[in-house]
Structure 1
Amino acid sequence: MSASYHSIALFDLDHTLLPIDSDHEWGRFLVRLGVVDGAYYEQQNERFYNDYKAGKLDIYGFLKFALKPLASHPKQTLDAWHQQFMSEVIEPQIRAESISLIQKHQDLGDLCCVVTATNSFVTRPICERFGISHLIATEPEMTADNQLIAFTGNVFGEPNFREGKVRHVEAWLARHHLSWESLEKSCFYSDSMNDLPLLEKVHTPIATNPDNRLRQLATDRNWQILELFNQ
């Protein structure tokens, strides 16, 4: 990657490119598989999801909950489950509107990247399905014991959440010899008020399928509001 890129297009994933929350749906999928304590896990999954929507999520508490199943099963088994998850849950939610939006930016020569708080185990195959090779996500910690790769159940580094998204994007830009100052254009598509720090950082914030709080803020600030899905 070189500094030949002059424009970037950043995309949140859940309720932005997807009309669902992949993190939440992965939890529900594990309940349906019967590999977690169903009643307890579903209750906690809903509680954290509602906290996120309300803007009061304890991100470390959530990650301790969400990453535990990754440490409880071999990665080969997890990968097989994720293939099933992609087929049964994600693929039916891939919308032509999202594909077209991404393609528009790629045709313009923009450097495209998904920037999501959801962990990379869940999101990388989804990102690849959208044809985007760059992903900035919350990273689960991994270990290699006797060449066997496994998740520890812990988060690696800072979660990619709120202000953390800004720091991770800036580190990603630096790795590619780019900076906010070197870019002619930058845009970020997001549905959530949780993403306000990064929305305020780019040249063009685009409230996409926005929640009520972000919709009001976007209206007040005269930001573009994009209703991506025809539902």
Structure 2
Amino acid sequence: MMNTTKPITAPTVALFDLDHTLIPGDSDHGWGSFLVDRGYVDHAFYESKNDYFYGQYKAGTLNIYEYCEFSFKVLADNDLMTLNEWRDEYMATIIAPMIRPQAVALVKKHRDAGHLCALVTATNDFVTAPIAKALGFDTLIATQAEMVAGRYTGKVAGTPNFQSGKIINVNAWLEGLGLSLDTVAASYFYSDSINDLPLLEQATFPVVIHPDERLAQEAKKRHWPFIELFHSEYAA
């Protein structure tokens, strides 16, 4: 019997990083800052640790498991109703003003071309699920915060979606469609961060958006294209 779940013609895949790529800010660090500013977490401790890990991320030295242990604790310490209320407030006041038409149009261009599109971010799925929807994505590949019986446990579920983990998780998604990065017709990946070098190297068409210094150097050496979505609005 024919396997009707596998496409007859392999599609093109378009993958997008989120922070400083499709939005001019960092949704993960921003979530921590929001919690501090609203008084939902201990100010001195949380702000210090949030900034410490963000510095590691930008340097390409982040221990993702240590960071998740820190950032997922607030998910484990609060019930889902409270967390959803906080996230709604965060989306409305912090994230919504960063959703720009240029980013939505870039995603739409690939969707209109019939490409399989996915938002591929290291930021956890709780924070990024509504952001993915606002940007026009049906598929979100993010670091998964483990949930048991309707509450977050504070642990990571599966492989963190960070550095080479993005390749693992993208291929897991594609495997469910009878595909892989090696068998799709072509793949695009848009990113700003040196942390995404492993997946950029796997893409047929790597594209850098507002790259950090180290990624800009790599992209120039490899003759990868640069694009800028936010122009003067963009703030690194």
* Fold in common (TM above 0.5): yes
Unaligned residue ranges in structure 1 (runs of 5+): none
Structure 1 residue 120, shift from structure 2 partner: 0.1
Q: Residue 75 of structure 1: which of 69, 77, 80 is its match? A: 80
Give the aligned partner of residue 61 of structure 1: 66
Q: Residue 100 of structure 1: which of 96, 105, 113 is its match? A: 105
Letter in 1 for 2:147: M
Give the aligned partner of residue 173 of structure 2: 172
Instruction: Give distance in 2, aligned partners of 1:156 and 1:210.
Output: 29
Report how many residues are paired: 227
Instruction: Give distance in 1, aligned partners of 2:121 and 2:222.
Output: 24
Instruction: Give distance in 2, aligned partners of 1:224 and 1:203.
Output: 12
Is the Cα contact below 8 Å between 2:27 and 2:123 reproduced in 1? yes
Unaligned residue ranges in structure 2 (runs of 5+): none
Deviation per residue, 1:43-91 (Å, 9 max, x gap): 1101100110011111111101000000111001100111110000000
TM-score for both structures, normalised by structure 2:
0.94
Instruction: Give distance in 1, aligned partners of 2:13 and 2:192.
Output: 18
Is the Cα contact below 8 Å between 2:10 and 2:183 reproduced in 1? no
Is the Cα contact below 8 Å between 2:219 and 2:225 reproduced in 1? yes
Is the Cα contact below 8 Å between 1:5 and 1:111 reproduced in 2? no
Give the aligned partner of residue 226 of structure 1: 227
Structure 1 residue 33, shift from structure 2 partner: 1.7
How well do the aligned residues superpose, as a CA RMSD in angstroms?
Answer: 1.0
Give the aligned partner of residue 217 of structure 1: 218
1:52 equivalenced with 2:53 (yes/no): no
Give the aligned partner of residue 152 of structure 1: 153
Structure 1 residue 2, shift from structure 2 partner: 4.6
Secondary structure of the 1:199 match is helix
Instruction: Give distance in 2, aligned partners of 1:176 and 1:183.
Output: 11
TM-score for both structures, normalised by structure 1:
0.96
Give the aligned partner of residue 120 of structure 1: 125
Structure 1 residue 5, shift from structure 2 partner: 5.0
Instruction: Give distance in 1, aligned partners of 2:224 and 2:102.
Output: 20
Structure 1 residue 181, shift from structure 2 partner: 3.1
Instruction: Give distance in 2, aligned partners of 1:89 and 1:75.
Output: 20
Secondary structure of the 1:17 match is coil
Letter in 1 for 2:153: T
Secondary structure of the 1:200 match is helix
Instruction: Give distance in 1, aligned partners of 2:91 and 2:181.
Output: 34
Q: Residue 29 of structure 1: which of 30, 34, 48 is its match? A: 34
